[in-house]
Amino acid sequence: MIPLLYTPSGINFINPKLGWWNDDALIRHHASMVPYGLINDNMNFRKDYKIPEYHFLLGDSGGYQNLTLDKGFSPSKVIRWQEANCDAGMILDFPPYPVLNRGRTADGVTTEKLEYCLERTLYNAQIAMDQRENPKFQLYGVIHGTEWEQLEHWYKCLTKDYQFDGYAMAPKPTRNPIQVARYALFALTHFDEPIHFFLCSSRDVIPVMIWMTKYNRLVTFDNSNYSCAALNYYNHAFWRDIRKFYRISDTKPTTLKKLPCNCPPCTWINEHGGPSIERTNLEFHNYGALHYLYWYLEEIETYQRLLDDEDMFFNMYVSLTGPKRLRLLRFSKRE
């Protein structure tokens, strides 16, 4: 089986010991996605944060932040940063989706808007291609669009003069498994190179990502939970049954003496004061995020193993996400 690299996005630079790449990290994982710009334009970050060579770093160009925060990133600076630190990375794209809804849906993507964004993306892609220096670094083209024809048009224009080492797509809405499956089908029928799906890490969608790996593909996707935790004190629901009635970031005091979970981050919390320790402490929230990632990775691993038995794979999918997913299963079996 081709390994599926899951890439938690937005490494926490506040306290690198809470990452997952160090020998003494609470949870270990072999891949990360790091966005350029927002928190990281350090040209030596890989070295500064002691991220080992074998750890796969995917450097997002920051195209989305560039658009939503009007950052005016330079494609030359992005490629220099990516080549100095990352194993692979995306060209500085111009997503055509409306800024107002934070890119969650693709409503209102007109042909004119798509053409405008495609032109800007092609311009940046050319700069990145012309200024590539590191032969080990893999440059991914980014494909946008909502309709099949739009995706096809964008892909054809992007690959007219250049060959990319991989591609990235941003399915909309990212939490809709049927939509994500359509993008997956597009990728599978158009190219063999590695593919990254932005986000696509909700519980309903993970199985679609893993199902793709059946077709001999290096698939990556990312989850922003960790970076949100560091920046916004995000809520971390427990996976499995407990998540419905206990959130690590609840402000309401709890009478629990121990967190009801034995994952390594929760074990650490239990050994250092338990659930009653200061909940507004930023570091505490990072442990909460690690707890979430731990169970998230467990679920991914389970699906990966079940891939060898289709019935068990689909049974687990339906049992975790509900019978509405049967529609998707029919969709998948039809291809």
Distance (Å, rounded) from C-alpha 23 to C-alpha 76? 34
Question: Least separation, in Å, of the C-beta of 258 and Zn ion?
Answer: 11
- Tell whether residue 266 is a contact of Zn ion (CB under 5 A): yes
Question: Least separation, in Å, of the C-beta of 266 and Zn ion?
Answer: 3
User: Which segment (154-162, 200-208, 223-231, 259-267) binds Zn ion by CB under 5 A?
Assistant: 259-267
Helices (H) and strands (E) in the chain, counts: 12, 8
User: Which segment (7-15, 164-172, 184-192, 255-263) binds Zn ion by CB under 5 A?
Assistant: 255-263
Distance (Å, rounded) from C-alpha 13 to C-alpha 75? 23
User: Which segment (113-121, 176-184, 220-228, 253-261) binds Zn ion by CB under 5 A?
Assistant: 253-261
Question: Least separation, in Å, of the C-beta of 306 and Zn ion?
Answer: 23
Distance (Å, rounded) from C-alpha 187 to C-alpha 217? 10
Of 26 and 90, nearer to Zn ion (C-beta) is 26
Question: Least separation, in Å, of the C-beta of 263 and Zn ion?
Answer: 3
Distance (Å, rounded) from C-alpha 180 to C-alpha 185? 9
User: Which backbone phi and psi does 263 adopt, to 5 degrees?
Assistant: -70, 160
Of 297 and 318, nearer to Zn ion (C-beta) is 297
What H or E segment, with its residue span, contains residue 288?
A: helix 282-306
Question: Least separation, in Å, of the C-beta of 236 and Zn ion?
Answer: 9
Question: Least separation, in Å, of the C-beta of 274 and Zn ion?
Answer: 13
Distance (Å, rounded) from C-alpha 147 to C-alpha 160? 20
**In which region does residue 199 sit, left (phi positive, over 0), alpha (psi from -120 to 50) or beta (all else)?**
left
Which residues within the stretch 272-311 sit at the binding site for Zn ion (CB under 5 A)?
291
Of 57 and 261, nearer to Zn ion (C-beta) is 261
DSSP string for 3-28: PPEEEEBS---S-GGGSSSSTT-SS-
What H or E segment, with its residue span, contains residue 117?
A: helix 111-130
Question: Least separation, in Å, of the C-beta of 269 and Zn ion?
Answer: 8
Of 148 and 245, nearer to Zn ion (C-beta) is 245
Among 58, 195, 261, 293, binds Zn ion (CB under 5 A): 261
Among 109, 263, 269, 289, binds Zn ion (CB under 5 A): 263
Of 197 and 284, nearer to Zn ion (C-beta) is 284
Judged by CB under 5 A, the number of residues near Zn ion is: 4
With contact defined as beta carbons under 8 Å apart, do 248 and 227 qualify? no
Query: Which residues bind to Zn ion, rule: CB under 5 A?
Result: 261, 263, 266, 291
